[in-house]
Amino acid sequence: MPQRAELIAIIDYGMGNLRSVQKGFERVGADARIVTSADEIERASKVVLPGVGAFADAIEHMRTQGLIEPVRRAIDSGRPFLGICLGLQLLFDVSYEDGEHTGLGSVPGKVVRFDFSSIPAAAGLKVPHMGWNQLRWDEPCPILAGLDPGTYFYFVHSYYVQPIEADVRTARCDYGIEFVAMIWRDNLFATQFHPEKSQKHGLRVLENFSKL
């Protein structure tokens, strides 16, 4: 096993706002670097899977770059791992975004689109869900330390996750329906919101993660 440096690896698989995530970590004093290889992922003490865009394109980029197994190994290694937005959705078994696409399978469940057609009270809501919304949680979570339920975070997404296992559903949000906005299992954390775009509260999440 290689000696691991005390740094955060932000995985570049051709999708996402990598520099803004890196700058967020830098603002809280963390050493975060954008990486592209399995070896760099293996040598990092913490790993971040960011992402914006289409699920199918993302998983294909990861496959062609040989990053699927390195990401799975990083999660299984017990090192702190953070998925952000599309990086959350990629962790699941399957996504129904423009077809049916197999994900990493690290978290049992699926990714589905917001559908308000049978909810008259939500008929005026637009998809994607874009902007600030309140996060709610009931139990303490390490990367939410110092924050209060009801804190606002920034979201941009048309799809949301449906975990099979209830105990990974760490935080939730309302947009026409109640949906899972954050998961946590052991060393694995993932958010549907963008902490790097969520000002001081988002920076607190990144800082908490960097100190795990």
Hey, which residues are catalytic here? Answer: 85, 194, 196
Sign of torsion, CA 150 151 152 153?
Answer: negative
Report strand pairing: 159-163 vs 188-191. unpaired
Residue whose C-alpha is closest to residue 209's, from 80, 106, 32, 18: 80
Sign of torsion, CA 183 51 18 20?
Answer: negative
Q: Which residue has the tokens 């975004």?
A: 97
**Does 195 sit behind a cis peptide bond, omega within 30 degrees of 0 on the bond before it?**
no
Phi-psi label, residue 20: left if phi above 0, alpha if psi -120 to 50, beta otherwise? alpha
Residue whose C-alpha is closest to residue 203's, from 146, 141, 133, 138: 146
